[in-house]
Amino acid sequence: MQMMRSALAERAGPAESIVLQERPVPVPGAGQVLVRVAYSPLNPLDTHARADRIKWSHPGFPFVPGYEFCGRVEAVGANVDSQWVGKRVSSAGEWGGNAEYALATAARLVSIPDAFSWQTGATFSTCAPTAWHLVHSAGKVQAGDTVLVHSAAGAVGALTTQIAKSAGATVIGLAGGAEKLAYAKQFGADHLVDYRGDDWVARVKALTADRGVDLIIDGNQGADAARNYQVIAPCGNVIYLGAMAGPAPEVPIGLLIGKSFSVSGFVQYFWQAKTKYREMAEIIPKLSSGEWRIPVEKVFELSEVAQAHHDFEDRRLLGRTLIRVGGEI
């Protein structure tokens, strides 16, 4: 029996509860492929599932983290075209990427363009469509709009900033602390505000002459989410795509009506199903040329998955973080 190294979350617990162990290499079933993993991006859902903070899409314990991964197809199961073997692919929405080999559903694979490095190939199929659809599909950004981006030093925030600027928007980025503000500056936001040290509501109002912003993109939520409604302009939209700071307070319907703004949720896959992946016609060439960039700032080894979770939950990471499994295979 062929064995592989694998991270494992045996039960709900803190980051340190993840262990590294030898496990059998899985065998692809009908409709599946076996992927030799190169890199696995750290996804917030990895940490939420390990801590049992989510019920939606939870794989159950024990499980191998790695909600996203990329690598080469090693073998295919029944009813899968053998031409997949040897191809560079990325997978998202299925667990197992924090191991030397992982199973993926063939119908959900995304081919990695030849122009992409392994690290870009690991991240583009989630981060890039998310940012693109936040701006163009869900956000409907037009030239002249003002967009407020929470977590502007994170990977989605950084790429959303770049895409919104390409669409002709004015971008205000929020980040916590001088280091993150300095980091976020490179992505082109017109204004950067320290939400920890500044009264960010007052700063955003001042920057917009009290009008407010047309679109707010927030992956944090938490108790402070209600402050978004103080700076959203009439007819604007607040989009939530995550809850890193915990759930938000209930939205006051009277305020929605009185100010005539909307609050909506976001999952990239619904928008991609609607567009049938047409956004890739713009995303791939702009990432290939460097006009847009997904920032990969930290790479952990497979033996360091627990540390990666710990640093992420302490909000010490910038840009996108990867787990190197096989590396440049």
CATH number of the domain enclosing 308: 3.90.180.10
Domain-located, residue 280: no
Distance CA 257, CA 239 (A): 17
Domain-located, residue 104: yes
Domain-located, residue 161: yes
- Based on the fold, state whether residues 219 and 310 are members of the same structural domain: no
pLDDT at 243: 77
Domain span at 21 = 3-112+295-324
Domain-located, residue 169: yes
CB 146 within 8 A of CB 167: no
- The tokens for 85 are 């073997």
pLDDT at 248: 84
Distance CA 191, CA 69 (A): 34
Could you say which residues of the chain have pLDDT below 70?
none
pLDDT tens by residue, 81-97: 999 999 999 999 999 99
- Based on the fold, state whether residues 104 and 133 are members of the same structural domain: no
- Based on the fold, state whether residues 303 and 231 are members of the same structural domain: no
**Quick one: the chain helix, strand, coil %, rounded to 5?**
35, 30, 35
Distance CA 295, CA 273 (A): 26
- Based on the fold, state whether residues 229 and 310 are members of the same structural domain: no
- Based on the fold, state whether residues 181 and 243 are members of the same structural domain: yes
pLDDT tens by residue, 210-224: 999 999 999 988 888
- Based on the fold, state whether residues 185 and 231 are members of the same structural domain: yes
* Total number of domains constituting the chain: 2
pLDDT at 329: 87
Domain-located, residue 19: yes
Domain-located, residue 147: yes
Domain-located, residue 122: no
pLDDT at 123: 95
pTM: 0.92
Kindly report the CATH number assigned to the domain that includes residue 250. Answer: 3.40.50.720
